[in-house]
Structure 1
Amino acid sequence: MKEYRYKINGNLYKVTVGDIEDNNVHVEVNGTAYTVELEKKSSPKIKPVVRTASTSPATPPPAVTRPTLASSKSGLKSPLPGVILEIKVKEGDTVKRGQTLIVLEAMKMENDIKADRDGKVTAIKVNKGDSILEGTDLIIIE
């Protein structure tokens, strides 16, 4: 087992890399266990984090959402890494080009992420409070 410490957006993450079985690696981030599936190119693919309604000060900081490798062509992507402050739409909403969909905090500034086309929101890929990386799919618009 190897232990690492990362600081992302001011949040400290203690990562423990455990056993490797076939193409799966058992990883623990701040006490929460994850199974990471490795691709043939050794790029990690993280399974989605299941969040519950109950949060407490003892709850670890939100997990970092990685960019999807086979991303959808209709996905609105994050232009920079940051933390999701607000999601202003719901699945099923009709949006217009230029409408603010998400407020993203990056480098201590609030950034409005706007729709790049008219359409209908079919999926929201992030949650309020998530730390995300550049290129992460945020919302799917069709």
Structure 2
Amino acid sequence: MKNFTFNINENSYSVRIVSEEDNTINLEVNGTSYAVKMKEELKTVKTPTLVRRPSKAAPEPVKIKNPSSSSGSIKITAPIPGIILSLNVKVGDTVNSGDLLLVLEAMKMENNITSDKSGVVSAINVSVGQQVLQSEVMIELE
């Protein structure tokens, strides 16, 4: 069954457990057989089972559109796949070039997504906790 090597007082002992039955262990030490009667009942150890909670599904994104939005809008897309950690603007906000729009977590790093141009937020196509793919439109500006 199992083989062990022990060094006691500079003496080497090769121990092989042959069998376990009725609280008795049959083993060989350096080729000599022994039957060892245990004082206490042998308990078998169960391998723990990993239990995982089901993951929470990301909430469906709330698509908020400003009725005055035009087709000539500026689209802010995801540079890499990730999860939206925070939204720093809302529909109707005026943003300048370089303003922080949202924070995107990708590969355990927080990425600040900023505006390339000035404009007014006309649509927010993502929500906090949502997973986005690369090139997915997250925010639209007029």
Query: Normalization by structure 2: what TM-score?
Result: 0.52
Amino acid at match of 2:58: P
- 1:98 aligned counterpart, secondary structure: coil
Superposed CA deviations along residues 59-109 of structure 1, whole A, max 9, x for unmatched, are 7322798xxxxx976210010000000000000000000001000000000
Q: 1:94, 1:81 → 2: CA distance?
A: 26
- Report the Cα offset of residue 131 of structure 1: 0.3
**2:108 aligned with 1:98, yes or no?**
no
1:81 to 1:72, Cα distance in 2 relative to 1, 3 A: farther
| RMSD, matched Cα | 2.6
- Report the Cα offset of residue 136 of structure 1: 0.5
Unaligned runs of 5+ in 2: 1-52, 62-70
1:112 to 1:59, Cα distance in 2 relative to 1, 3 A: same
**2:112 aligned with 1:124, yes or no?**
no
Report matched runs for 1:1-142 at 5 Å: 60-62=56-58, 74-142=74-142
Q: 1:139, 1:79 → 2: CA distance?
A: 13
Q: Is the 8 A contact 2:59 2:129 kept in 1?
A: no
Unaligned runs of 5+ in 1: 1-56, 66-70
Q: 1:137, 1:128 → 2: CA distance?
A: 15
In the alignment, what sits opposite 2:41?
A: none
Identity of aligned residues (%): 42
- Report the Cα offset of residue 127 of structure 1: 0.3
**Matched residue count:** 81
- 1:139 aligned counterpart, secondary structure: strand
Q: Is the 8 A contact 1:94 1:119 kept in 2?
A: yes
Amino acid at match of 1:83: I
Query: Normalization by structure 1: what TM-score?
Result: 0.52
Q: 1:98, 1:129 → 2: CA distance?
A: 23
In the alignment, what sits opposite 2:28?
A: none
Superposed CA deviations along residues 95-139 of structure 1, whole A, max 9, x for unmatched, are 000001000000000000000100000000000000000000010
